[in-house]
Amino acid sequence: MSFSEVLSVYARVILEFLFELYVFCVLVTRKLERSRLFWLRAFGGLAVVAGLAFGVAWFYALFGFTVWGRVLVYIVLFLVVCLHLRLCFEESFSVILFCGSLAYAAQNLTYKLFLFLWGMGEQARLYDNWNDLFELYYRLIYYGFFVLAAAAAYFLFIRPLISRLPNRQLNFRMLTISVVVLAVTVLLCSVEDIFFSFLSDFREGRFEEFTYFVLWQTGNLFSVVCCGVVLLLISRTLEQSDLQREVDYLQYAIRQSKQQYEISKDTIELINVKCHDIKYKINELLARHANISEDAVSDLNESISIYDTKVETGNELLDVLLTEKSLYCEQNGITFSCMAHGEKLSFLESGDLYCLFGNIVDNALEAVKALPEREKRIVNLVVKTKNDLLIVQEDNYFGGEISFRDGLPVTTKADSDYHGFGTRSIRMIARKYGGELTTSVTGDIFHLNIIFSIEKAENRQIK
């Protein structure tokens, strides 16, 4: 094997593969946390990878026409690229391997899809008149297709995933399946490339026997499907990770709600006792000192009465929660209106009830507190029954604009990973008891409605 032949393999096969893989690696790793001296690591690592790739080119030239030689070449290149990514980013190797698998799947899908389409043209003899310009036209068409396919893969598959990649506790089983599917794809592609290279006439994708063409195209489609399965597995793994994270958060919020209820209950009872004591002492002072003006005593009683207010709904837990929220409203100039048949909420577990109404009221208070117009700082909460239905309604003014996704308002906070759980938690609890949440906007008023079937909820409780 001459040096010029090795150099040709290095340029046409190895570097071309690495270039395509690195394009997708750049797209996939955009959101990952970079290491210190990132650019030095990136370009220094590229130089090392290029040097190692030249050695791989020698190996390819000697053993590339055997199945295991071809498989070993691409596995080594894939692992070298993953090690380079690990050097450049402050992420676990599982995340890096995940990103590398996603990049390789996208690269192989793009390449095999091109071969499938190109083969259709070869079979139709569309390129027979290109003669000496065949290589130039082939490269122009291929790289044009690659740019379009890479852009399509980014917007369709990669961009929805990469924002959820950093700092994830990835599902090891799914990660293993993805890597195994990729490994099988590499093996089958290597067998296919070597086998059909001996059957093609004088260039790839050109067959005199139509049966060989069908088999070759079937192999290409199989590779596309395998890579599509890997992309789907990766997407499902991240969705599962997000769902598990939401469930864990909800369970944590419910546990915290139970603790908060006990604290709030004791605090409000203590406040009520102290208020009664203070009122008693004020009346005692008034009896002893007639020179104290009635207006001063009235103002003092009015100030104390704010903390002596207790919301009564027929549900002790809801009473504690709403009393606590009403105290907050008094302190922040918010009008809190509540008409609730709390006794109808007995089918809700205590933690779920506290978490449900805590999130409903907290979201409303956060919205109205920011309003400059004091007359719009109003929160209305209604819990009522109608036939067999229990209806929870909450209305409040809001500022700015609200956008919706999947029927829920999208958080306006910058860190959406750690905010926006409130309404999702409300919906999860509602559905747990067979209910359904709807949200809507009329002008500058936000509406939240939950409808439960009392019979279904109570039957669930019995079970």
High-pLDDT (> 70) share of the chain, %: 74
Q: Whole-angstrom Cα distance, residue 310 to residue 330?
A: 13
Q: Whole-angstrom Cα distance, residue 205 to residue 122?
A: 6
User: How many residues are listed for the chain in this entry?
Assistant: 463
Which pLDDT band, with edges at 50, 70 and 90, does 259 fall under?
low
CA distances in angstroms from 435 to 348, 359, 378, listed in the order given:
11, 16, 26
452 exposed, middle or buried (CB, 10 Å; 0-12, 13-18, 19+)?
Answer: buried
Amino acid 183: pLDDT: 75
pLDDT tens for residues 51-60?
A: 999 999 989 8
Amino acid 215: pLDDT: 83
Sign of CA dihedral 171, 221, 17, 193: positive
Amino acid 123: pLDDT: 82
Amino acid 419: pLDDT: 38
**Number of C-alpha atoms within 13 angstroms, CB side, residue 463?**
7
Residue pair 14/53 in contact (Cβ under 8 Å)? The answer is yes
Q: State if pTM tops 0.75.
A: no
pLDDT tens for residues 64-92?
A: 778 888 888 888 999 999 999 999 998 88
In sequence order, what E strands does 121-244 have? none
Torsion from C-alpha of 266, 271, 272, 276, nearest 10 degrees:
140
pLDDT tens for residues 336-368?
A: 888 888 888 888 887 788 888 888 998 899 889
Q: Whole-angstrom Cα distance, residue 131 to residue 281?
A: 108
pLDDT exceeds cutoff 50 at 443 = yes
Which pLDDT band, with edges at 50, 70 and 90, does 447 fall under?
very high
Q: First vs last Cα of the chain: how many Å apart?
A: 76
pLDDT exceeds cutoff 70 at 242 = no
What SS3 state is found at 293?
coil
